[in-house]
Structures are given as structure tokens and as C-alpha cells.
Structure 1
Amino acid sequence: MACKSLIFSKNYTFPAELTYERRGGHLSKFTVCLRSCTNMTESIMFSMLSELRYDYFFIILGGGSDANTGLIWVEGRRVDVSFPTDDTRPRRSICLSWDSPNAEMVLWVNGKITEKKEFEKVGRTYIDPRIFIGPGQIFLGGKPKLDVGELTDVHVWDRVLNPQEVKGYFHQEEGHIGNIINWRALEYDGVDGDFIVGPFQCKRRLSV
């Protein structure tokens, strides 16, 4: 999967499940990093589900007319976030960490902290979470209208990365490889729908 991306398009109805070796794992902390297009036409979501519940944790990345806004749901609680409006680079690097014992969420965009929030401590553990990626509109009760967008370089760790590690990922330094999901060795399952794997190229915005 190196140098490639998942490209989701208008007919896709379900997200793809990113698979990894099951180790009977119990996660209480994790960090996810990925790169996306800044001109996505619609929302892209990354979600982690545990015990068949959807409200544990997921992020929806904004797109279209709301390209600089996004939603993060943490334990069923909504956090509205904003992405930098002065960033003209076609690729956006996003890292999001969740520390359940300390109930702390941190969002990094292009190597810098843009949101840090503390919640009431619940100390929840995620048991062998299922990890999905795909159109965010599915979870908002809608259907994609246009090409949805592209995501690449998705990594997941079972710990909270420190600032130096997040910046290393942003600058694409060697050695920043997720120990739960590693994009270079990624395996995934897809159901009936429409997505392809191809070179990451960040398509231009399509007209409505």
C-alpha cells in the first residue's frame, strides 16, 4: 500500500474494514494518523468500534463547503474542530490521540496541536476494536453525492504519541510505523460498493 491510497466514490455504501492480527488486545490508549486531501468533496470518517457500539470513538473529517471543519465523537460526546484555513498544501496530515485513563483527546493537524480537550474520566477499555474507514455521510444518515475523497498513510498505535513522534510522521521521517495498523502492510475487507486502491493524487474538487 506504500504510495497508494483508498479512493472512495459516489456509489460506495459501506466503509472498508481495516484488518489486523488479533491479539486479544485491550486498548485504553491509542493514536491514529492519516493523510487526506484538503479539497475532498464530502466527509471521510475513521472509526473504532468495540463491543458492537458505534459511540465509543470516531472522527469525521469535513469536506465540501465545510472543508475546514470537522466533528470528533468521544464516548458519545461531540467535539467541533476547525482545520487551518491558511494551509494551501493539497495534503493534510492529521493525528488524533485518545487517552482513556486520563480522558484526554489531542488533535494534531500538520504537526501542530489544534485541539486539546479533557473529559470526565471513565477509564474505558476497547476490546479488540473493529476499525473502519470510508464515507462519513453514512454515519450521518445521508448518502454520498459526488466523489468522496482519498486517504493514505493510515497508522494506528496502542499508545499516545509524543510531539516529536507526531512531527516525525508529518515530515514523513522513517520509522514512524503504527504497531496496530501499518499502511505499508495494510489488509482490508470491503463489501459491495465502489472504492479503488490507486496512487495518491488528491483529485481536484468536482463541480456540482
Structure 2
Amino acid sequence: MEMMIVLLIFASFSGILGQTDMACKSFIFSKNYNFPAELTYEGGRGQLSKFTVCLRSCTNMTESVMFSMLSGHRFDYFFIILGGGPDTNTGLIWVKGQRVDINFPPEDTRTRSICLSWDSPNAELVLWVNGKIIEKKEFEKRGFTTIDPRIFIGPGQIFLGGKPMLDVGELTDVHVWDRVLNHQEVKDYCNKKGNVGNIINWRALKYDDVGADFIIGPFHCKS
């Protein structure tokens, strides 16, 4: 875990800020990828007591990809979406040092829509896959909040202290809200007709290119 934080801090010292409409595009990661990309937003959000993140990934990826949120140097939330081989339908979520193992539906289509919501006052986490709840967990109420979060996406192996050995895959349509989406809003996202995130908006994405080996290209979920 310490290695993960060091990598993220190091990655923050270099990079070029870019902004683009990423509609129908994706971050395509490769085996030479070095650091996660930081998704940026205007100003601080203060104490973020609720949030929802939605994204799409491929079920045929050869290695894991991750989404993470940190407050300063403190590790807060991340989830890893595993790819091909025996790990196709498994993943994990890490919430303030507590691990939650998850199993994705075996009938997944090639493109997987994932939404993860966190409600701090109720200490409740909900994971949606393709518009259906597959995990709902309540934690001990300890006033979980995230302060001015830094948001990263990239290969999961980087966060586990390793380096991808194979091509990784693609992530697209990443949005983050400062509230918990309701059931209909999650379904709308899965059907590609929902509103856009007010913290991270894929249609006006700002990101820090830290010199890692990834490209931006059309999302086609290739093998």
C-alpha cells in the first residue's frame, strides 16, 4: 500500500494538463504503462461525504485496471476491475483500509458498465453492474469523508506494487458526482442517456498526462 501512495505522489510532480471531449473515446493502456492518469477538476470540493463514480470497461482485458480516490497522502477508496483468464469475473473494493471482494455477473456482455456509490452519513457502499446492484455493504459509522479528493485511473498492478506484463485494455465514459445516484439515474447511465458528472465529466475531461504509455483512441473494446 505504501508503494501505491509513493507512485501517486511521484506521478503528481510531472505532466501536462489537457482537456478534451472524450465522447466515444477511451484511455487505452499498454504493458509499458508507468503511472496512473490523474483526472482533475476545478477547485476543491471540501469534504466529500457522498459520491458516485460510473465508468465502462472491457470484460476481455488481460490485466486489471483501477479507479482510486485519495485525500492528500491518505488512501481512501479504490476498486480494481480484473480482466482476462481466471480473474475475468472478480474484483475488489478498498474502503478506508477495509477490503470487499466482489464477483461480477458471469453473463456480462463484452462492455461492462460499473457504478459505485458511497454514502458517508450512512456508511453505505453500493456497486452496480450493468444497471443491477451486485454488492451492497454497510460499514461501521465512523464519519468517513474524503477531503478534496485526487482521482486516478490506470492499471491495477501499479497499485499492487507491480508492473503490467501484458496489454491491459480500455476505460471510457468516466463520470463522478458529489451525490449518490438513484436507481433510475444508474440505469440511464447504462443505457447511455444519463446526465454527466459534476466533479468529473468525460465530455469535458481534464487530466494530467504524466508521461505514461497510454493513448487516447476510439472505444472499441478490442481483444
CA shift, 1:24, in A, is 4.5
Following superposition, the deviation at residue 196 of structure 1 comes to: 0.4
Residues of 2 paired with 1:191 and 1:178: CA distance? 23
Number of equivalent positions: 201
The correspondence for 2:58, drawn from 33, 37, 40, is: 37
Correspondence for 1:10 among 28, 31, 36: 31
The amino acid across from 1:10 in the alignment is K
Alignment of 1:59-74 (within 5 A): 59-65=79-85, 66-74=87-95
Aligned to 2:94, the other structure's residue is in SS state: strand
Sequence identity, in percent? 77
Deviates more, 1:23-32 or 1:11-20: 23-32
Whether the 8 Å CA contact 2:41–2:200 is kept in 1: the answer is yes
- Aligned pairs for 1:132-171 within 5 A: 132-171=152-191
Q: 1:77-96 maps to which residues of 2 (within 5 A)?
A: 77-87=98-108, 89-96=109-116
Moved beyond 6 Å, runs of 4+: none
C-alpha distance after superposition, 1:40-60 (max 9, x if no partner)? 110000000002112x11111
Distance 1:26 1:71 in 2: 25
Alpha-carbon displacement from aligned partner over 1:51-86 (angstroms, at most 9, x marks no partner): 2112x1111111122010001001110000000112
Instruction: For 1:51-130, list aligned pairs within 5 A.
Output: 51-54=72-75, 56-65=76-85, 66-87=87-108, 89-130=109-150
2:202 corresponds to: 183
1:76 maps to a residue whose letter is: G
SS in 2 for 1:146: coil
Name stretches of at least 5 consecutive residues in structure 1 with no aligned partner.
none
In the alignment, structure 2 segments of 5+ residues that lack a partner are: 1-21
How many angstroms apart in 2 are the aligned matches of 1:100 and 1:63?
29
DSSP 3-state at the match of 1:46: strand
Question: Structure 2: how far apart are the matches of 1:166 and 1:32?
Answer: 10
Counterpart pick for 2:70 among 40, 43, 49: 49
Supply the distance in 2 between the matched residues of 1:40 and 1:97 (Cα, whole angstroms): 24
Partner SS for 2:185: helix
- Shift in alpha-carbon separation, 1:116–1:25, aligned structure 2, 3 A: same
TM-score by length of 2: 0.88
Q: Match for 2:154: what amino acid?
A: G
Between the aligned partners of 1:82 and 1:24, the Cα distance in structure 2 is 32
Q: CA RMSD in A?
A: 1.0
- Residue type of the partner of 1:198? G
Specify the alignment match of 2:211 in structure 1. Answer: 192
Query: C-alpha displacement at 1:125, in angstroms?
Result: 2.0
* Secondary structure, aligned partner of 1:6: strand
Larger mean Cα displacement after TM superposition, 110-119 or 62-71: 62-71
